[in-house]
Amino acid sequence: MKNIFKYLTIIICIILITGCGNNKKEQKEELPTDLVKNMDLDDKDATAVCSAEFDYADTQGYATGSKFLIYADEDGIVNKIVSREIVVSNDEEILNLFEDSLNRNYDSFSQYGGYTFKVEIEDNKLTSDVTIEYTETDLKAMAADNESLEIYLNDDNQLTLDSVKAMYISSGATCE
């Protein structure tokens, strides 16, 4: 009887171990890793396009993809940025945390003008679309409240194409 109990215990442990490993693998496989490639965002008139993807599926249960379209005038002054960010996860709580955080962040920047945004969750995917019209944004006031922005502004309190690309590259994006 003791031998049967030992074998039964070993079999249950093996089932639990292999079952848990398969669940993690399935979760990883279900999260897409080519989010930027599949983004439907028209970039034909953009001066520059920056994008980034991060896969945290194994460690934190989500993956992200971002695409930033930068529009600048002939002097390299940025007048608009259009972005789409996607977060995919099988965990609804993770998506809700991102949604709350993004909405709070965008709401706080809306006070400076020029921001329009939409954040929505559907089918294990959060999509955030943002347009910032810098011709309508008080960048001087924004920089006064957010000192880290000052390093990206020129002497006329304008964002330059080079500084915006540097900002995105410093956060892990690639720019074309």
40 found inside a domain = no
10 found inside a domain = yes
**What is the pLDDT at residue 18?**
44
Could you give the number of structural domains in the chain? 2
Tell me the per-residue pLDDT of 62-103, one tens digit each, with 9 for 90 and over. 999 999 999 999 999 999 999 999 999 999 999 999 999 999
- Is residue 25 over pLDDT 70? no
42 found inside a domain = no
Backbone angles phi, psi at 93, to 5 degrees: -60, -40
Q: Which domain holds residue 71?
A: 48-175
What is the pTM for the complete model shown?
0.81
- Is residue 36 over pLDDT 80? yes
38 found inside a domain = no
**What is the pLDDT at residue 38?**
80
Separation of alpha carbons 109 and 27, rounded Å: 35
